């Protein structure tokens, strides 16, 4: 069950619930646990998201991070506005072959036109796998 901020735009809540976070997020098995502009958490299974040698695909890390960072930025943007990703980078420091990974998204800067978040992805033992930074442009819908 996803936890939303109390004052969240009802239209955004409906979009998130009805879409499950988007088609790609659903395909990847991403589950949003907590959502806010400042702090968000999501999980994703390793199974089904691995590359040819059996480790979690680096691109899957980025999909998880971008999904979470985009939603956090959209929450910050507010009603009648959208968030559009303009920059993302990822540093992978460790691999994993099984279990579930957890992404924790923390706001670095929440401005009127830009929102920047850091997303830390860890394994079931709490070891950091990746650090991702994402910037979204916030604009009127």
Catalytic residue list contains 11: no
Q: Is the CB of residue 46 less than 8 Å from the CB of residue 56? A: yes
Which residues are bridge partners to 140 per DSSP? 81
Residue 19 Cα to chain centre, angstroms: 15
Vertex 61, ends 57 and 66: CA angle to 5°?
A: 140
CA distance 122 to 113: 30
> Pick the catalytic residue: 14, 34, 38, 66?
66
Q: Is the CB of residue 134 less than 8 Å from the CB of residue 110? A: no
Residue 123 Cα to chain centre, angstroms: 15
Which residues carry out catalysis?
66
């Amino acid at each position: 069950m996803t936890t939303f901020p109390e004052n969240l735009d009802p239209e955004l809540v409906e979009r998130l619930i009805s879409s499950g976070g988007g088609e790609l997020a659903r395909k990847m098995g991403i589950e949003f646990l907590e959502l806010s502009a400042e702090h968000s958490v999501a999980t994703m299974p390793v199974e089904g998201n691995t590359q040819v040698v059996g480790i979690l695909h680096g691109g899957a890390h980025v999909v998880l991070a971008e999904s979470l960072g985009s939603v956090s930025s959209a929450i910050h943007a507010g009603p009648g506005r959208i968030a559009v990703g303009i920059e993302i980078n990822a540093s992978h420091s460790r691999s994993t072959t099984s279990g579930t990974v957890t992404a924790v998204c923390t706001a670095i800067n929440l401005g009127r036109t830009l929102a920047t978040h850091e997303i830390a992805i860890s394994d079931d033992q709490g070891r950091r796998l990746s650090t991702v930074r994402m910037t979204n442009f916030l604009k009127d819908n």
